[in-house]
Structure 1
Amino acid sequence: MQFGKMFILIGIVFIVIGVLWTWIGKLPGDISFKKGNVSFHFPIMTSIVVSIILSLLFAIISRFK
């Protein structure tokens, strides 16, 4: 695959990830708390969803190689 086509594909993947990230940014199961001036957010469920999506994506890509 040519580098130009590969960069276009990577760009499209990043756009899709960005759109999905705005939709699934705060799922139930994410740890988030705020106390005074300090806030903490640990996206456990979001990380799991992103991991599953990326695993499926890489499995599909590896089948075509």
Structure 2
Amino acid sequence: MSGETGKWIILAGLVILLAGIVVYFFHDKLHWIGNLPGDIKIERENFRFYFPFTTMIIISLIINLIIRLFR
């Protein structure tokens, strides 16, 4: 591994740490994440299925915008 790889691993760790801090302190304000229109929820008596389709698209768009800003 090169020094450049180490820098990317540290950056990824900082991003995960920042995301954890945001979720920890603002969890009561983020209740809409995962409950957007287009998120698939199926609940039966002995079965529960959840697929956050719209949430994943929005998070992917935000991450792509951030990556493009830094390039």
TM more than 0.5: yes
Cα shift readout 1:37-61 (whole Å, capped 9, x = no counterpart): 1111110121111111111122012
User: Which residues of structure 2 form unaligned runs of 5+?
Assistant: none
Cα separation, 2, equivalents of 1:48 and 1:16: 21
TM-score, normalisation: structure 2: 0.62
1:27 partnered with 2:35? yes
TM-score, normalisation: structure 1: 0.66
Q: Which residues of 2 match residues 1-65 of structure 1 at below 5 A?
A: 2-18=4-20, 19=22, 23=30, 25-29=33-37, 30-62=39-71
Higher share in strand: 1
Cα separation, 1, equivalents of 2:35 and 2:43: 17
- Alignment size in residue pairs: 61
Partner amino acid for 1:8?
I
Root-mean-square deviation (Å): 2.4
Measured after TM superposition, the shift of residue 6 of structure 1 is 2.2
Cα separation, 1, equivalents of 2:18 and 2:35: 18
User: Which residues of structure 1 form unaligned runs of 5+?
Assistant: none
Q: Judging changes above 3 Å, is the alpha-carbon distance between structure 1 residues 16 and 48 closer, same or farther for their aligned structure 2 residues?
A: farther
Cα shift readout 1:6-56 (whole Å, capped 9, x = no counterpart): 221111122344545x63542322111211111111101211111111111
